[in-house]
A and B are shown apart, each in its own frame.
Chain A
Amino acid sequence: MFWITLVANGVAFGMLLFLIGSGLSLIFGVMRVVNLAHGSYYLIGAYLGTGVAAATNSFLLGIAAGVVATMLLGVVMQTAFLERFGGQILAQVLLTMGFLLLLADLSLWVWGGTPQILAIPDALSGSVRAGGFVFPRYRLFISLLSALVALALYLVLERTRLGAQVRAAVDDPEMAQGLGVNVPRLSTAMFALGAALAGLAGVLGSPILGVFPGADLEILTLALAVVIIGGLGSFPGTLVGSLFVGLADNIGKALFPELSYIAFFAPMALILAVRPRGLFGR
């Protein structure tokens, strides 16, 4: 029973990480830039979602607010700033680093430093019981919703014309442009989608993780571990990486609580030693 609980926890936490990691990976795919401001989308999504959900008493409106706002933020960041530095990877990474600090201070200014936590919506509160197995209903909801998002992302990327254009733009932007794909527009769209996914994760995560200054860096660290293990820019890699981090984190902490960070950073180092580009990296 101990093990079933641990694995279920690990999968649920992994699926939340998938939402963040897949956004980071998508943005890297089209921009070739590790977006260090990715944790900020999570933070802002969480703050806005918490505020709107508490004010309107509607969790759905909270989600909508978090997703739309981070999507717009992503569009502005990409079109007004990052795009000007096309190809200059160092400048772009520094720019995202700047945004990380800027948005952290801005959030502290707007929302103050008091930690906040969103109430779990009534329909999703309580836990599911089967024999001795107890699992929070809300975490089940997160897992299922994230799995749906993963499926949708997979279908769009692999089965649609849009997905084919994205893959072409990732593999060879110049050739794709030459074949009539509007690569800049596509990059903006993917950047917005990636930011929105992180914003969604922020709203979904706030009832169990809460939100406070510093939550952005906490999540960014985990998201980086996910994409580094899975391979940056790879969709199946992100899925495997998030499940790996979720499970390793849970099982490692339960078995060796004193070595909690080693539990997933050590396997990560090992994987990188054997496959420097991650499990699914090319």
Chain B
Amino acid sequence: MRWALLGLALVALIAGTVGAAPPSPVVVGFVAPLTGVFAPTGQDLLNGFNLYLAKTQQRLANRPVRFIVEDDQFSPEVALTKIRKLHESDRVHLLTGIINSAAAYAMRGYIDQQAIPTVIAVAGGDDLTQRGRARFLVRIGWGASSQFAHPFGDYAARQLGYRRVATLADDFAFGHEWIGGFQRAFEEAGGRVVAKIWTPLGSADFSPYLARIPRDVDAVVGAVVGPVALRFVRQYQEFGLRDRLPLIGPGHMTDEVNLLQMGPEAVGLVTTLHYSAALENQWNRTFVQEYRARFNKIPNAYADAGYSTALWIDRALQRVGGQVTDRAAFIRAMEGLVVADTPRGPLRLDSHGNIVQNIYIRRVERVGTALQNSVIHTYPNVSQFWTYNAAEFLRNPVYSRDYPPCQFCGR
């Protein structure tokens, strides 16, 4: 009896210590460029992620987090090496980050083969969640490149009333996909793209391309991204085009970071994106306030991407009780998840693992001394397939330089 009691006490003691032991951490691997030209973008993304973790006291689904940050230098090769390291030596439960689409394409085979749940925070290449989607990949951050081009084409034709436009875009995948999506929706709504001009990535001087823009159009659609967007907008004004032809395009041009550097040349630009720091909802107001307090700057769409991705992962983990042992179940949990309280609006995934989200039309306005992207129209719950049937949409080739063909060019 005494022995039995002692045994019982011992068992209770062991059970007690086991119960009191902290739960094992969720291991999250984060890969983004943190050095080189894209370092600021990677940093904004990381800031957003860290802000969320700070609010939850470094916990996800009430489990402590081991958050491992790796720099991919914006190179697909380096990204793949880092992802192997995160999987094989750190044994991460899931991967996130990823800004470079080429890196995301390069890792598809590996993450499916190793069954690593991957939550893309930025990379926008259309086919990541369209033709040849990886089973273990979902995209939360930005959505597909053409996803926010379709509604914008619709808006340009129906709301802005443009009939004829010329496009000028970076000659690489993002420019092709964005302009392709714009052209399809714009022409289906009755507009005509009469000139498509492609500029090499990182052009120093846009003046020769500006000289080629036909003057008998209603507007110019400019899809120039990265650091050269500043000089593009400046040069567009410099050559007197701003007074005659409105400039519209993707929201990268007037990213909150760029707006700090811009002046009168940016006022009145109409752009589109799934986020604006000027969004009027309670979650965004709180987010902007907390982000500014912590990092002393205004958040942009990358900062939101980091924050919302972290929030998404947290909610998905809660659905599986914080356990990522069954990885397929974790992906399924994300596919059924609906999150309403993010800075950029309600989020859910479509049948192909891509985010369905509001797309905002914004106009640059001066408020006090600062410029901001004021939201002037909202397209609610836009999917990457826009109003099309997914199966029919996927039978078309991915948007490219020559698709859709420019049937009105030169006319």
> Which chain A residues have a beta carbon within 8 Å of chain B's beta carbons?
2, 5-6, 9, 13, 108, 112-117, 119-120, 127, 129, 134-136, 138-139, 207-210, 212-214, 218-219, 222, 249-254, 257-258, 260-261
Contacts and interface: CB of A to CB of B under 8 A. Distances in A.
Contacts of A208: 205, 231, 234-235, 238
Interface residues of B, number: 37
A212 B204 CA distance: 12
Contacts of A5: 207, 211
Contacts of B235: 208
A251 B208 contact: yes
Contacts, number: 106
Interface in B181-239: 197-200, 202-205, 207-209, 211-212, 227-231, 234-235, 238-239
Interface stretch (B35-43, B62-70, B332-340): B35-43
A210 B227 contact: yes
Interface string B384-406: 00000000000000000000000
B262 interface: yes
Interface string B254-266: 0001101111000
Contacts of B227: 115, 210, 212, 214
Which 10 interchain pairs have the tightest Cβ spacing? A115-B227, A212-B227, A253-B208, A113-B40, A254-B208, A136-B238, A9-B207, A134-B240, A250-B208, A210-B231
Contacts of B231: 117, 208-210
A214 B234 contact: no
Contact of B209 (A2, A115, A207, A253): A253
Given A250-B208, A253-B208, A261-B200, 17 more contacts: A5-B211, A9-B205, A13-B207, A112-B40, A116-B261, A117-B234, A119-B263, A134-B240, A136-B240, A207-B234, A208-B205, A208-B234, A208-B238, A209-B205, A210-B228, A254-B209, A254-B211
B135 to A, nearest CB: 35
Contacts of A222: 204
Contacts of A113: 36-40, 43
B239 A127 contact: yes
A127 B205 CA distance: 17
A9 B211 contact: yes
Nearest to A137: B238
Interface in B26-42: 35-40
Contacts of A138: 238
B254 to A, nearest CB: 13
